[in-house]
Structures are given as C-alpha cells and as structure tokens.
Structure 1
C-alpha cells in the first residue's frame, strides 16, 4: 500500500486526503489545529463554490451540507456612479447553483470523517525539518498549507506573477440579519459591487456554524478609503467600519444591512497578500522533494471568488494523476507533469483574476454595461465564475468582445421581431 503524507487540512488537503483514502492509499494528514479548534476559531475565507467544484465533492460523497447551504442561483454586478447611485445593475443566472459553506464547518467535519474512516491524523505544525524526515518514509509528500515557513520552499515564478505587492486590502464579516436584494427576493445570488478606483464589495449567502448567514467582503485598493481595517482587532469595530463604508459608497446594499449583527466573535477577518504563482516542487535540505498543492503554488486574489474552487479542482486533478501513476515512483518529472495538468485549468483563473485587479479597459466596461440590456451576456459572464476558460472567447480582446455583443444583440433583435410578427 502506497504511503502518502499531506500537510495542511484546508479544502485541497482534506479533499485529496479523503479521495486517496477512498482509493485505498495509506494517508497521513498533518494539521496545526484540531477539528474543535477549527470549528470554534476565526473564519478563514469567503468561499463560494460553483458547479464544477461542487461536483468534485459530490463525486467523493463529501457534499455533507448541500441540503442545508443556501442555493446561489445567480451572480449580480452593480457599478457605483460618482454620486453613489447605480450606473450598472444586473444579475446573471447560473446553469448550476453555487454554494458556500463556512470552512470552519466543512474542514472540521471533513477532518473528523477522515479520522473516523481510519486515516492517521497528526496535530502538529510541520516545519521544513519535519518534512526532511518524513520524506524518507513516505512515497509522496504533498504540502497544502498555504502560509508559514513551508511556503518558502517554493520559489516565486516571476514569469507567471505580474504583481509583487498586494493589490487589495481584504476585510470580511459574517453576519445574520441581512435582508434580500429587492430586485430578486425569490432567489439568492452573489452580488459584486464595484466602486471604480476604490474597490469592491461582495455579498454572498453562506452556511456557518449557527446556520444561514451572509458574508460582507470588502476588497479595497491599498491606500484608498477602504484600506482602514489594518490593526482593527475588535470584531464590533470591524463590522461598524464595514457598514459605514457600505453606507457611503453602496447605499443600496447598506439599506438591507441596517439590522445585521456578527454571527459570532470569530466572524471577522482582515489581511492582504500578493497574488503569486510558485514553482510547484520544493527541495528539502536532505535532497527529498515535495509537491505543492493549490494556493501553495497558485495563490490568486479573491476578487474573482476562485480560491476554494481552484483548491477543489487542484485536489481532483492531483488525485487523478496519483491514481493513474500506479506503483511508479513519484519523481520530479511526475511532480512537474501533475502540476502542469492542473495549470491547464489554473492558468485561466490567474489570467482572469489578474485582469480584474487592474483598471478595466474600455471594451470590458462596454461588456459589463451591455450585460444590463443583454441577458445572455449577463448569464455568460456569471457562468465564467464556474469556467474561467470561457473568458478567452469574449473578454480579453476588444474584437472578440465586440463580435460577441453584436451576435447577442442581433439574436435578441431577431427574437423580438419574431415575437412582434406572431402577435
């Protein structure tokens, strides 16, 4: 039986551990916290998982909370005008619903499941020296812990990392008591609110430790008016700042947030990091090799909501690569090929995310504006969150954008003519 060590118990590490366990591998999982410590700790992310990533969980029978979590049926975009009215406002419908489960709920539950199924769970904050020892006793060591000393083993890939500094200051609040968006009270959607030159507010329904909740997530341009959360340690002050900024820049979202309260004392999070792609293979002092997983090697800004989706897709890709490799050695060539297979998907996420962090060019503004009148364009943009590769077909190049909008407008005009003729 092949022995595999996974360091890090997040979305990718746990999904991969449980997937390998189901395939008969002897898996050891290292976490720096117990399930109870995770469940009672601070929120870790703003996860919203779309159809493809959710299907990976379903395929492994890990969709434990699917019946409880809100079904997110759309992605909406609003753009604030200088007078704080809405210059643009629309919602695209998803082909398959998305869901968000607080990682405190999911990771704790998955960790307990892994142990119940006979997996070896080690509660220990691993250092490079630990991996140097373990690499001699396991067939494969995977590093899925995206922070701390271990990440330093994976060098930055400058050719795939255009930014050297954080591009947004991040501030998250989990709340109860948020009202529905009056434009579509009959269904849930992720709402992306863009304040040009200032930043973005994302609002998404989630399932947390205390049931249904909503996430208020500011992404502020560093040094701008939203960059005020650094050093704020009091959760109540954090929420108060969040709401003040909503009232100033996005009054339509503030209007449904006047009665919100934090879900719990750990329901806030703030920070920032530079989007970075790293070399996937880490070299240990003793000569051993380890393979980086998910955001250890491809860390994108959360502006496009791809973190947990990418983690799920990476785990699924690596699982296939490991199983297909059979009894052969997990050498450097295999590690490189496993990452390259994942990068075929991840490259589209990185390209789109980095594009959204910059000032949008005129043709992208035209696309976002036109989606308010052309529902197929709004729907396609929304479904790009599930399949970012599709943006290659209509988003990046002005000519492709113009051709696509002309095609959709023509089809809509033709449909209207046919309707009028039949009437």
Structure 2
C-alpha cells in the first residue's frame, strides 16, 4: 500500500485525498484548520463549477450537495456603455444570456471543504491539523512515497519558482471584493433562469453575480473585480463587513444600476460573508526541491494561479485533481520521480494552458474583434451559447475568439445559418 501525503484541504487536495482513499491508498491529509473552523470562518472564495468539473466530483461520488445547490442554466454578459456613468448611473450597451449545455453550480467552500474533510476522516483517513512548513515536508518526504502540496498560500508556495514564460503579469491585475448575500431579486428579463451574470464596465472593472449554496442555504455572491488604482479599488483596509457591503452596493448603483435594482433588500449571509484581496496571476515550476533533497509536486493554484475573472479556479482545481489522480493510479508501484512529476503536471497543463491564455486575455482591454463577438452574441443566440459554454471548455476559444479572422469567419457562418 503506497503512502501519500496531501498538504492542503481545498478543492484539489481533498478531491485527490478522497479519490486515492477510495482506491485503497494510505493517505494523510494536512490542514491548518479543522472542519468546524472552516465552516464557521470567513468565506474563502467565489466559485462556479461547470459541467466537466462537476462530473469529476460525481465520478468520485462526492456530489453531496448537488440536489440542494441552485442549478445555474445560463451565463449572461452585460456591458456598460463607456463613460455613461459620468453624469449619473451607467447605461447598458450590451445585454444577453447564453444557455449552458450542462448546468453549473456554486457551493460555498466552507460547506464543501468542511463536509469533505469530515468524510475523509470518517472513512479512516489520517487527518492532521497542523500548518506545514518546509521543514515539516523535509521530514515527511522521507516517510511517504509522494508528497503533494495543495496549499496555495504561504511559505510552501515559495518552493515553486515562477515560470516567467508562462506568467506575463508580475503584479495583480484586479482588486477583488466579495459579498455573500441573501435577498437578491431575480433579473426581470429572465426571472425563471438561474444565471451567472458578468457585468463589464470598460476601464473600471467587472461585477459578477452568481447564485450559490452557503452555510445558511441559498444565497448570491456579489463579486467586484476592480482595475487597481481605479474607482473600484476601495476595499483595502475595510474590516467591517457592513461597510464592505455598503461600498459594494454604492458602486453597483453607479456602475451597474440594472444589478443594483434587484439588490436593494440584500443583507450579508453571515459575519464571515465578505472577502477582499488581490494577487498576481502566476504559473510556477511544478516540482519543489526540499533542503534534504526530497521532491514535492505542486497542485492546482500552487502551480497555476489565474485571476478569478473567468471563474476557473475551482474548475481548474477539480480538473487538476482528476489528472493527478489518474497519473498516480496508473503509476502502480513505480517511483514517483521527477520525470513522472513533470509528466503529471504536463498532463494537467494540456487543459490549464487554455484557461491561462483566456484569463490573461480577459484581463487586458479587449481588441475590436472581441468587442464585435460580445456584441454579436446579443443578436445571435448561438454565439451567446458558445461563449457561455466556453466557461466549461476554455479550449474552444482557440477556434473563434483570439484570432480576428477566425472570429469574423465564425460570425459570417452563424449569420448565414440564421438567414438560411
């Protein structure tokens, strides 16, 4: 029986630990917090998981909350008319809703991680509540066949060197501010469709609104991504949750009044329902070398951390876990050496590279052909649907999104099909 240590109890670490456990591996999971501390703590993220990532959970029979969480069937995009907020509330230049082929869901990580951690322990897994330092891993690497580092913050991440060729940004590209709320009304245009809403305010930032399941039941997430130094970059140092929500709503009233109109009755889900911060999108070398010479393999956002503007964090974590799980099981009793570690990461990077390329493109001001695509989606439903389903399979953006000629050819093809 092979012994594996997983450090970090987020989406990827827990999915791998539970998956290996079900295959008969001897798994130790290290977390710096107990399940109760996670459940009663502050929100850790926004998350909206699309069909492929949800299927990885179903395959491991870990979809415990699927029947309770809202089923997100659409993804909408609204664009504020540039400069329209100078004299008063902004006006919409574009507004459409794309339909997802398979529904998405958002489950507060406090609910999921706490529940999964308890399941791991109940099934006989060794759960160690301890913040791991490099020195700890140096010791453990001699007693385990494989050490996986899935804790995306803190000193452990520094073991993995930044890959400059794959990391075009060295500074954060957005200031992030999250509020989990009860009491948000439906969008009047589509009152019966649960949808994620992406509101783009050119030169200012973005507001995402997504239905979710939290510790107190159904809720919605209000998530600002502000361009650093701009009018949305005002949450730094705001400690009071009520002030955080008040600021969120004030900015909504000015920049996305169509979303503010359904938010006049909202209140925070709980005292831990806000989050603010920023980080630079970074791809890292997947193999970390310990002082004693041992090797560890980085997992998910330890090695590929994208900005949340494309909502890919938990999806990527789930896909990384699925890829690593397959590689570990296929390895049998052969050593988990450096060559295997690099090949395992490359297997994940085959999908992750599309996420990174798309996310980095969305952080930059959009070129004319992308504006044309987003505008055309308001007139042509197949374009809206394809854009929405790209959130599940970002590789498809290669076929119609980045290249102006491909984008134009696609629009001609869809327009022709519509005319016919």
Q: Distance in 1 between matches of 2:371 and 2:301?
A: 29
Q: Distance in 2 between matches of 1:183 and 1:155?
A: 48
Aligned to 2:36, the other structure's residue is in SS state: helix
Aligned to 2:94, the other structure's residue is in SS state: strand
Q: Distance in 2 between matches of 1:275 and 1:121?
A: 31
Q: Distance in 1 between matches of 2:24 and 2:307?
A: 35
Q: Distance in 1 between matches of 2:391 and 2:195?
A: 13
Is 1:87–2:99 an aligned residue pair?
no
Is 1:128–2:128 an aligned residue pair?
no
Q: Distance in 1 between matches of 2:8 and 2:214?
A: 21
Deviation digits for residues 1-23 of structure 1 (CA, Å, limit 9, x no counterpart)? 00000000000000000000000
Of residues 328, 331, 342, the one that matches 1:325 is 331
Is 1:192–2:191 an aligned residue pair?
no
Is 1:101–2:107 an aligned residue pair?
yes
Aligned to 1:347, the other structure's residue is in SS state: helix
Q: Distance in 2 between matches of 1:261 and 1:39?
A: 19
Of residues 394, 397, 409, the one that matches 1:391 is 397
Choose 78-87 or 223-232, whichever is displaced more: 78-87
Deviation digits for residues 239-276 of structure 1 (CA, Å, limit 9, x no counterpart)? 00000000010100000000000000000000000000
Query: Which residue does 1:421 correspond to in 2?
Result: none
| Structure 2 spans left out of the alignment, 5+ residues | 85-89
- RMSD after superposition: 0.3
Q: Distance in 2 between matches of 1:66 and 1:340?
A: 31
Residue 187 of structure 1 and its aligned partner are, at CA, apart by 1.1
Q: Distance in 2 between matches of 1:60 and 1:181?
A: 35
Aligned to 1:354, the other structure's residue is in SS state: helix
Q: Distance in 1 between matches of 2:285 and 2:14?
A: 22
Query: Which residue does 1:65 correspond to in 2?
Result: 65
Residue 145 of structure 1 and its aligned partner are, at CA, apart by 0.1
Q: How does 1:4-403 map to 2 (within 5 A)?
A: 4-81=4-81, 82-83=83-84, 84-403=90-409
Q: TM-score, normalised by structure 1?
A: 0.98
Is 1:408–2:414 an aligned residue pair?
yes
Residue 85 of structure 1 and its aligned partner are, at CA, apart by 0.8
Q: Distance in 2 between matches of 1:413 and 1:228?
A: 48
Deviation digits for residues 159-194 of structure 1 (CA, Å, limit 9, x no counterpart)? 000000000000000000000011111110000000
Deviation digits for residues 328-351 of structure 1 (CA, Å, limit 9, x no counterpart)? 000000000000000000000000
Deviation digits for residues 90-142 of structure 1 (CA, Å, limit 9, x no counterpart)? 00000000000000000000000000000000000000000000000000000
Divergent runs of 4+, >4 A: none
| Structure 1 spans left out of the alignment, 5+ residues | 415-423
Q: Distance in 1 between matches of 2:393 and 2:321?
A: 17
Q: Distance in 2 between matches of 1:117 and 1:134?
A: 22
Deviation digits for residues 262-294 of structure 1 (CA, Å, limit 9, x no counterpart)? 000000000000000000000000000000000
Q: Distance in 1 between matches of 2:339 and 2:182?
A: 49
Aligned to 1:225, the other structure's residue is in SS state: coil
Q: TM-score, normalised by structure 2?
A: 0.98
